Structure 1
Amino acid sequence: MDVIVAIAPWLVAMLLLVACSGVFSASEAAFFYLKLEDRKRFRKGTTSQRAAASLLGDPDRLLSAILFWNLMVNVAYFAVASIVGLRLQNSVGSTYATLFSTLSLLVIIFFSEMLPKSLAVLRAPALAALLAVPIAFAVRVIDPIRPVMRGVSTLSQRLIWPRFEAEPYMQVSDLERAIQMSMQSSTVLKQEEMALRGIVSLSDSQAQEMMRPRMRYKMFHPPVSLKDLDAEMTPSGYLLISDEQGDDVVSAINLVDATELPADKLEEFAQEVLVFPWCAKASEVFQQMLSTENEVAAVVNELGETIGVITLRDMMETIFSYAHGRSERILQRKTFEEQEDGAYLVSGMTSVRRLAKHFDLELPDTRHATINGILQEELEHIPEVEDVVEWGPFHFEVVEQHSEGHILVRLTMRQEEE
């Protein structure tokens, strides 16, 4: 009994240190598990939410502070645990001291690492807002010693990698050579080769080739509420909000990754969309999305009218999926569906560039980016079923026409017919 009374204050100190360590561990998981939509919402939220967003503006500073304080707390915990272990060894023997040391190690692993981080992942937005103010204070406390920490880190890097040099800027031609090398050997996995091809396809594509046409997405006129969705996901995965006239997309909300949404006035939580001309490179649109953290871009024609939208999910699917074509992504069908007689069924939204690449042919110059544009120019009216067009080496026949503007074309080679 006397031993318990003697070590009781130390045990209380250990419990407090475990709680402090758990707070820092939970804050690390909560802050860095916040989704893009959560960070955007925090910038316009309460004082604590804005403080959390401000801390994430400099993630290196935030992470350094959290790791520093967590390390200090853990060192103090093990120092106190060593004192208690020595007193137990002197009072009741080494067996109980060893048992206590093992138990104290399991306690700090479970209650200050595993459990707090698991809970923080489940409730990241709430915990990040709750812990923002105390963590901000902890960050400011160690700001004076951050230059010393940065200097030690730089010195360590130079001692370990004294001749490390940054690689030069990678060109698209470098990626193409990497793809060719991957086909000759097994140095690049199949998934990596797929991603490389997707990246190269972005550099070759225009915005109008990547966009969802106006007839393939739905806009919502403000004010917008959750009831307007009818408990259904939009085709694009985004809630696209129009202007007052209902003509152009002006803002959007990522419905797939959204964790909390109000019941009404969703337009107040939406993010403005980027605007690009139809002739902009898809790679430029993708780069701008990443740098500005905007996930939707509106594509406009030469008159400034919105003709389609590109989403970050579309870009990611183009890079990280085997189906790089717009037909696979939007229509959920193969771009080139070969028939028994050697003909192909293709969508009118198939790009001319993809057509030339698939058949390895040099096609006539055209100002249109899709088969649909070519048909409209040749026919001088909206394509209808049984319309026939011969263009370059191809014979096009419209076989299906849908109300939303999508057409299906039967494609054959003119040389084969002759």
Structure 2
Amino acid sequence: MMIAFIDSVAIWFPGSLALFALICASGFFSGSETAIFYLSRGELRQFSKGKPSEQIVAALAADADRLLTAVLFWNLLINLSYFAVAGVIAKKLADAGMTAGAGIFTVGSLLAIILFGEVLPKSLSIVFRKKIAIMVSWPLAVSVRILDPVIPLLQNISRMMRRTFWPHIQKESYLHSEDLERAVDASGASEEVIRHERQILHNILDLSEMLVEEAMRPRGTYLTFNMPLKLEDLTKITPNTDYIILRKRENDSDEIDRIISLTELSSFTEKTLNQKSKRVIHVPWCANLSDVFSRFQTEECQFASVVDEYGETIGIVSHDDIIDTILSPEPSRAKRILRREPVREVEPGVYHVEGITTLRYLCRKLQQDYEVADDGLLTVAGMFHEKLEHIPEVGDVCDWQGFQLKVIEVRKLGHLIAELRKMEPPNEAPADEV
């Protein structure tokens, strides 16, 4: 049988060359798809600023629907052509009386397209995704461009078929925190692990409703210098200083331009000190922390300057501040700034509270439900300002959610410490005797 199969080389060899070319084409598109879609967001950002071939890869990945439609179209066309050619060769072998050879050829061609057209290219593309993505960038871009006139038609056909055969398909509703909590509970982890996972989950969900003003370091809690920074300026920093703020004095503006993180400084000179500064983005005080965190990711930045409605800087927030808000069991911007607990129980039921403590954190410490106030109050000091309508002084009293806060210390303008204790219920007058 083997000799007869070899003697029939004129029947199967020309078609085998066509099958080999189709396998290479199938492997090209399968590997290209895997290599590009396996690139991380950071790698794509680097490609967008790199060489022309790298920029092509980033542009293709930016329009994922267009790229995927083209790749699937070419792969489907190639695979149909492959099996059509393989079927013709198998039929010719069967007509020549070599039915066993036709069967072996059919099975072999199927295994070849699976192994060399799908499995091997995809595996190599995962390991060498960057190199392969760059290699295939130009021919893949040309193949996608060829289909540009046809892609809208294919998308319309797909939409029409979906509406015809699956008209009732709807988008799934957004998951609520309770649904995610049940998923954590069903994970089979220990109770301690589940408790920490649930807390981190709540912290992540809170990012979408927390204003950046709640997590920022307010103006006055950090040192600001004019650019360029000099070595003698470092003598002014205190042990609690985490960041050095650099500003440009242009047109009497105090706009923050760069930030130096002291935790990243190991060795430096006056020449390299300013080179270690990082750029900042500017966000409004009313932005959500989740939006700021997304901008940090997309713009490869670690610091943001928080500005008010007049364009004046009122604070800064860093990438590490948001990560701490997510991972800390009891996230508190006051704790990060003061490096101590901002709410201290001095005796049973009596607390000393720092003025920069947020009401959200205070509610968490007191195990009270927190709801975002309509008046926009965020901190204990802000609540005093709002209700008293003057700068708080020692002895001022303020009522809040069944608690009474009394100012016991004012260290400097806007920086106060209040004593908090639960309000006693009013004594009811005794009923009149009949």
Q: Partners in 1 of 2:324 and 2:157 — Cα distance? A: 38
- The aligned amino acid for 2:145 is R
Q: Partners in 2 of 1:281 and 1:106 — Cα distance? A: 53
8 Å CA contact 1:30–1:127 kept in 2: the answer is yes
Matched residue SS, 1:300: strand
Q: 1:7 aligns with which of 4, 12, 15?
A: 12
Residues 94 and 186 (structure 1 numbering): CA distance in 2 closer, same or farther, change over 3 Å? same
Task: Give per-residue Cα distances to partners, 1:46-86, cap 9 Å, x unaligned.
Answer: 12122222223322111111111111111122222223333
- TM-score, normalising length from structure 2? 0.59
Aligned pairs for 1:187-336 (under 5 A) are: 197-198=202-203, 200-211=205-216, 248=256, 273-285=280-292, 296=302, 298-300=304-306, 304-305=312-313, 307-311=315-319, 314=322, 318=326, 323=329, 325-326=331-332
Tell me whether 1:26 sits opposite 2:31 in the alignment: yes
| Aligned-CA RMSD value | 5.7
- The aligned amino acid for 2:292 is V
Aligned pairs for 1:60-79 (under 5 A) are: 60-79=65-84
Shift of 1:413: 6.0
Q: Partners in 2 of 1:136 and 1:40 — Cα distance? A: 18
8 Å CA contact 1:33–1:121 kept in 2: the answer is yes
Shift of 1:149: 0.8
8 Å CA contact 2:332–2:361 kept in 1: the answer is no
Q: Partners in 2 of 1:280 and 1:304 — Cα distance? A: 15
Residues 39 and 179 (structure 1 numbering): CA distance in 2 closer, same or farther, change over 3 Å? closer
8 Å CA contact 1:298–1:309 kept in 2: the answer is yes
Q: Partners in 2 of 1:26 and 1:39 — Cα distance? A: 17
Shift of 1:24: 0.6
Task: Give per-residue Cα distances to partners, 1:201-240, cap 9 Å, x unaligned.
Answer: 2343120323478989xxxx99xxxxxxxxxxxxx9xxx9
- The aligned amino acid for 1:126 is K
Matched residue SS, 1:325: coil
Shift of 1:147: 2.8
Aligned pairs for 1:79-90 (under 5 A) are: 79-90=84-95
8 Å CA contact 2:352–2:419 kept in 1: the answer is no
Task: Give per-residue Cα distances to partners, 1:131-170, cap 9 Å, x unaligned.
Answer: 11111110111122223212210111111232456789x8
Matched residue SS, 1:280: coil
- The aligned amino acid for 2:52 is T
Shift of 1:317: 7.5
Tell me whether 1:135 sits opposite 2:112 in the alignment: no
8 Å CA contact 1:182–1:189 kept in 2: the answer is no
Residues 34 and 343 (structure 1 numbering): CA distance in 2 closer, same or farther, change over 3 Å? farther
Partner residue in 2 for 1:36: 41
Q: Partners in 2 of 1:313 and 1:97 — Cα distance? A: 68
Residues 76 and 367 (structure 1 numbering): CA distance in 2 closer, same or farther, change over 3 Å? closer
- The aligned amino acid for 1:353 is R
Partner residue in 2 for 1:146: 151
- The aligned amino acid for 2:421 is R
Residues 412 and 96 (structure 1 numbering): CA distance in 2 closer, same or farther, change over 3 Å? farther
Shift of 1:110: 2.2
In percent, how many aligned pairs have the same letter? 30
Partner residue in 2 for 1:157: 162
Matched residue SS, 1:309: strand
- The aligned amino acid for 2:33 is E
Q: Partners in 2 of 1:182 and 1:115 — Cα distance? A: 38
8 Å CA contact 1:85–1:101 kept in 2: the answer is yes
Residues 343 and 415 (structure 1 numbering): CA distance in 2 closer, same or farther, change over 3 Å? closer
Partner residue in 2 for 1:352: 359
Q: Partners in 2 of 1:49 and 1:130 — Cα distance? A: 9
8 Å CA contact 2:283–2:292 kept in 1: the answer is yes
Q: Partners in 1 of 2:136 and 2:213 — Cα distance? A: 45
- TM-score, normalising length from structure 1? 0.61
Matched residue SS, 1:156: helix
Task: Give per-residue Cα distances to partners, 1:97-155, cap 9 Å, x unaligned.
Answer: 33332332222222222222222223323322221111111011112222321221011
Partner residue in 2 for 1:255: none
Residues 357 and 275 (structure 1 numbering): CA distance in 2 closer, same or farther, change over 3 Å? same
Shift of 1:188: 9.6
Shift of 1:271: 10
Aligned pairs for 1:95-114 (under 5 A) are: 95-114=100-119
Q: Partners in 1 of 2:321 and 2:57 — Cα distance? A: 26
8 Å CA contact 1:251–1:272 kept in 2: the answer is yes
Matched residue SS, 2:316: strand
Matched residue SS, 1:45: coil
Residues 37 and 324 (structure 1 numbering): CA distance in 2 closer, same or farther, change over 3 Å? farther
Bigger relative contact order (CA 8 A; separation at least 6): 1
Q: Partners in 1 of 2:90 and 2:199 — Cα distance? A: 57
Q: Partners in 2 of 1:305 and 1:99 — Cα distance? A: 75
